[in-house]
Amino acid sequence: MEPDDVRPRQATRTPGRTPVVLVHGSRTSSTMWRAQVAALESDGRRVVAPDLPGHGRRRGETFTLDGAVDAVRAVADDVGAPVLLVGLSLGGYLGIEVRAREPGLVAGLVAASCCTVPSSPLRGAWLRAARRIEASADSGERLNRWMVDRTVPAAGRADLAAGGFALDTMAAILEAVGATDPLGSLARASSPVWLVNGRFDHFRLDERRFVEAARAGGAPVRHVVVPGAKHLVSLDRPVAFTRVLLEAAHLLDADGAGHGGDQGAGVRPGRSQLREPPTSAAELGTTTTSSPSRPSAVGVIARELPPPR
């Protein structure tokens, strides 16, 4: 893989800080992560946002599940595993798959906008629609522009457009992701998991099952619902979403995931890139799923990974 293909963005690294890999969603590219890259680099972290096969600078390549997993594995190795692996939508499903296949690469996983089992009966309808759109005269360009203009804030639209849109990949993605078993994969590793969804995301259908699947593998789980956000939660509410990433990264630092975590522990996340009004945990909509025989998911994290002081 050529270096230009993955668009590394690396800051001077503060010792003890867990590196971060950001994996984009379908049809988008690494440029969707501009706000998160800026905040995480400001926090002294090495950050890499790769372009998946068929996307961004890799448009024209064929998307396959194994090829996408290889792309994530390569940048995680390069930036210094174990990493905080962050993925949205397609990137979230890939993050779950990478964590199951290569548990040593992943210190913690933030999986956003991917709490629907891909083998859902809806998948067939989505696949048929994707094939029709890709076969149209403009490969769905006008439809894509219409949807982006009406559902994504202006700053987010600019970030999406900067890397171009992969309009001919959706059918291949649906077929590849449809062959995965995210519930089974979540149960195959025990590193901490943050499941993040926008309040109005249509991919929240099975979120309780995703929480329980991660628990089945012994993982500490935090479930976050961001009010006012839709599917592209990182673009709809970038500050709230980024604060989840900073919280996750600092918890991993305190646990020593950042290769010498004593130097990173106890340091509060930097806020120089966070320009919206402060958001409380209640406003973020943090929720947990509990059962009588087990403590809450947030309680597990608080005990096993001490919060930053």
Provide the domain limits for residue 208.
3-304
Question: Angle formed by the axes of helices 238-254 and 34-42, to 10°?
Answer: 40
Q: Is residue 44 part of a domain?
A: yes
Residue 63: exposure state from Cβ atoms within 10 A (0-12, 13-18, ≥19)? buried
* Lowest-pLDDT range of 70-74, 80-84, 163-167: 163-167
Q: Is residue 128 part of a domain?
A: yes
Residue 177, pLDDT > 80, answer yes
Q: Is residue 214 part of a domain?
A: yes
Residue 117, pLDDT > 70, answer yes
The C-alpha angle 119, 288, 271, rounded to 5 degrees, equals 100
Q: Is residue 246 part of a domain?
A: yes
Q: What is the pLDDT of residue 244?
A: 98
HSE-up (13 A, CA, CB side) for residue 272: 9
Q: Is residue 78 part of a domain?
A: yes
Total structural domains within the chain: 1
Q: Is residue 41 part of a domain?
A: yes
Q: Which residue, 33, 180, 212, is CA-closest to 93?
A: 180
Among 22-31, 209-218, 274-283, which range has the highest average pLDDT? 209-218
Q: Is residue 43 part of a domain?
A: yes
Nearby residues of 182 by Cβ (< 8 Å), 6 or more positions away: 93, 96, 97, 114, 117, 118, 210, 213
Query: Over the stretch 230-259, which tens digit does the pLDDT of each residue have?
Result: 999 999 999 999 999 999 999 999 987 765
Q: Is residue 309 part of a domain?
A: no
CATH code at position 235: 3.40.50.1820
Q: Confidence band (pLDDT; 50, 70, 90) for 309?
A: very low
3-state secondary structure of 77: helix
3-state secondary structure of 275: coil
Q: What is the pLDDT of residue 275?
A: 30
Percent of the chain clearing pLDDT 70 (strictly above): 69
Dihedral of CA atoms 309, 103, 36, 259 in degrees, nearest 10, equals 50
